[in-house]
Chains A and B, each alone.
Chain A
């Protein structure tokens, strides 16, 4: 009100400009929600897909090796015990050894770890070699320590990761093998990395064309895999794609170790129900024959 009258037209222009920007902002804000998307995961073409799919034991063994040598440095798998590796359908399942606790591979794998325990005679804290009954040791003593060691980002447990993300196995495979250079114009905070498959919304960090906000989000995990990082015992070449695929298969198995048993049972159940349905329908036709309805 106290402003000079002469400035009024400029004020009006400015107000209109602000309004236009605000309106633009509103319209831009709404597509941003749509733009705030992760890239659709690529298919890993896994052997366990579909109603008849089964796990490839060699792939599970390679996947375990990637987990053990790369992922396990930061990620726990609290729900898994070494014995699980030797259970039917697992990576080290041996058809000649029905008791997983006697499986020689798994005994050796467990024994690689020192497990904190209480001496049953003296009650003192001791370290002893792992057994198949032990659960996978967590790399950190607790969640706070895990977060503190990783710049405040707690590396999530991987036990059920394939179930905890939409399209789990393909997602993990795509994420691990999908790290790429952040697009020009994306502001990245230190301790953050760009991944097009990560959930998030890049709009607030994007200086480029607002209509072309990059896919993906920030992840606190740096690209964990580089070619040749793991030496596969079966001679498979350890490319990033191969390792990502293998460890995704391993996590998919770990998330749902009864999947193959489930599908196999399901097949029998479906066949039974179909036969039962046919029989019941025949009975139905027979009972209702000649009955108008």
Chain B
């Protein structure tokens, strides 16, 4: 699709003038006419939704930065002032705060879609890798942003997470001091976190450009997961506009309805009440938890009895995504045609929710009922600690068994073109049977 021929014809004198100097109008026009697989389903709309999320976060963030005061004495109050005294401030702030959650909902669905349909496989490895990098930056940005209101969870969450960095042997200590800007989390930390929170979204935006560049070079994947041969392009693709602008547009509006529900009717549902208590280093909350979107990783962190080991596992859980294209040896992209992988995938999604649940609960608390079974190593088997460990094991096993699954699995027959199941679904079924 990279060799998609430009069909743009400059019409006015100005367009012709521009076209021979900075062909940006041609670039936009080509983008709009990009041949896109005709069978993309609604799971493919989340890329556009994520673009919108990034835009919303950047715009609302810039507005918030005009009123926010990055000072430990004033940060909490300034956030409240934004919601009370700045015109429309409550809207800007709640959109930004809930926007982070919405961003993660969309990012998780987008990534799982890529995982299910094998969008990480050749020739699209770089799209996936840049995407993983974006996800990693997104986590960093969200964490930094959560610290800024300087509530109890902000402060103590920052203590827990920065201490993890401190557990890295040799370099951990100096990095921790550098990160905190001193011996403890204080004003210097808040200032640099604010600065970095402002910086990272622009790095994300830069990565998004690379992500899209790679996408339009390699071409979009599709639910069938086969490459579209050149001679079938006319049959199997549609121009991006208007077909996908309208489809993405509809999905975006549905997403905004969900977004609006939270912003307008339940703006604090996704946050923690403790973060409306101003930060107090001397009082530690009974139960420090990250925001919901980081809970699975928090569970992985706590699953390992050793602190540094936990840090390795947590970063490893994101790191393993980067090498996914080389772990999955199957030639079939879409899990539609991979009976074993499909089951493992569904379990992986369920497992993700279990990990999130474990991250939200106290490790010692019982999972089922209110009774103890027997102690294994350092905790009762009927505890979130052990459930979290089993879930962590499955998380990694899912990726690590991929090379073996590829050897064992008998894939279902894959249609030879994407229009085959689209135009004649009966024929495709016949072939399968």
Contact = CB atoms under 8 A, between A and B. Distances in A.
A1 interface: no
A261 B366 CA distance: 43
Interface residues of B, number: 48
Contact of A284 (B39, B91, B247, B265): B247
A166 interface: yes
Interface size classification for chain A? 35 or more
Contacts of B91: 262, 265
A163 interface: yes
Interface stretch (A9-17, A109-117, A285-293): A285-293
B371 to A, nearest CB: 7
Contacts of B73: none
Interface stretch (A65-73, A91-99, A274-282): A274-282
A261 B90 CA distance: 10
A271 to B, nearest CB: 10
A266 B258 CA distance: 12
Given A288-B243, A292-B38, A163 B276 contact: yes
A27 B273 contact: no
A280 B246 CA distance: 7
Interface string B349-392: 00000000000001011100011100100001001000000000
A79 B246 contact: no
B253 A273 contact: yes
A6 interface: no
Interface stretch (B77-85, B130-138, B396-404): B77-85
Contacts of B286: 199
A42 interface: no
Contact of A287 (B39, B77, B242, B422): B242
Nearest to A166: B273
A165 interface: yes
A20 interface: no
B84 A257 contact: yes
B250 A164 contact: no
A18 interface: no
A19 to B, nearest CB: 13
A293 B246 CA distance: 14
B370 A51 contact: no
A74 to B, nearest CB: 17
Contact of A163 (B261, B273, B422): B273
B168 to A, nearest CB: 32
B422 A34 contact: no
Nearest to A277: B253
A168 B269 CA distance: 12
Contact of A168 (B83, B246, B254, B273): B273
A190 B54 CA distance: 54
Contact of B90 (A26, A84, A262, A276): A262
Contact of B246 (A257, A283, A292): A283
Interface string B22-66: 000000000000000011100000000000000000000000000
A273 B256 contact: yes
6 contacts: A199-B286, A266-B260, A266-B263, A270-B261, A284-B250, A292-B419
Across the A-B interface, the 8 shortest Cβ-Cβ residue pairs: A266-B264, A164-B276, A163-B276, A258-B90, A277-B253, A280-B250, A27-B372, A284-B246
Given A30-B383, A284-B249, A287-B246, 6 more contacts: A34-B370, A79-B81, A84-B84, A288-B247, A292-B38, A293-B40
